[in-house]
Copies of this chain bind each other. A is one copy, B any other.
């Protein structure tokens, strides 16, 4: 190489190096918009999130610590340090309504759905308007119902609670406080067991549980006084859209709309009832956060519920309200499309698979829910219920829960819990994919045994 070429080459290298330095320093100064106090916590959260649990479990920030880091918490029927081992003979647990089918949606949307809470966040009992209720959250909840078209909120009051569990009881108190004698609390069977358990547990002078609503309807009009009827729609356990059984001037109704979302049902029209209860557990799947709300027409009832809330626990956790706000904002960002499409597809897929498997059986019958027009999606939609309400059709199978448990190692919830016959059993379809897949496999085996027996008998 000639001397000048060499020099030129050196110069180019030098210029490139200096340019690279300028670029790197600029990058350092500009693009690294410095995060300060949040960095440690963010790094800690990301480190825990990156722990691999083989897709069958998850490590959490507040999990048990081993060797200085949180351990994997495995889905049911998986074990080992990284949850990679399928446990043999494990029961297919379809008992609870734990809505983990929504977890993959939030895993995919981690960035948009994270909240960062500094130590000094909202230490006071109250928000700045001296209430226990975040105005921003309330505003976003009203938007949510507007886009989902599942409830009227204009001119209505909103109360927050620790999930619908608390609001159901708050509503019973609030309604019975205005009654002239102890309220008779009823629900048409089959009904969600908590209505009875809760009303009985709190043994208040103001109300008592009175069983099946239909029995009152058939009685004289005298008995339909000071009545509070629970109406779940879609109904838990069977997924049917329901109306109140009782009516009259001294009948009050609590509408439990936990499942009135496009995930689980077509939305025929915005609900417009006096007292409507919704919960985040079944909307976003955040059952652990304990957040729900009631939409209330009557001012007195609203104020009674606020009083209940104030004496029960001095308001709903501000941490939870902040998280609920973030999650609902994510739902709203694309008009609900992201989560509602994901949730409907998942639930519809599960229901279709389950129907396919059980269509081959003469022994087990699923409830029927006809396709219906959905105001939210503007289409006719096939059923996608949260629960299967399975009937054992054979005379001798009078306890369907036992049949599933003994013959297929499946755990459902007995019909009797819902004030119905034990010939029915409820199977949860809202749990994790691992749970659902195991349930489906067990049911397949059970049905194929039924076919083999039939073949044997007919041969």
Contacts and interface: CB of A to CB of B under 8 A. Distances in A.
A386 to B, nearest CB: 14
Contacts of A61: 115-117, 121, 322
Given A35-B39, A62-B321, A136-B64, A285 B206 contact: no
Oligomer: number of copies: 2
A24 interface: yes
Contact of A285 (B10, B123, B319, B327): B123
Given A14-B17, A116-B116, A46 B37 contact: yes
A100 B122 CA distance: 10
Q: How big is chain A's contact interface, by range?
A: 35 or more
Interface stretch (A217-225, A259-267, A304-312): A304-312
Report which residue of A74, A118, A136, A314 has the largest number of chain B beta carbons within 10 angstroms of its beta carbon. A118
B314 A317 contact: no
A215 interface: no
B40 A123 contact: no
A96 interface: yes
A87 to B, nearest CB: 14
A197 interface: yes
A27 B32 CA distance: 12
A112 B122 CA distance: 17
18 contacts: A21-B21, A21-B24, A33-B43, A37-B111, A61-B117, A61-B121, A62-B122, A62-B136, A63-B136, A113-B120, A166-B312, A166-B313, A201-B308, A203-B205, A289-B317, A290-B317, A317-B317, A319-B323
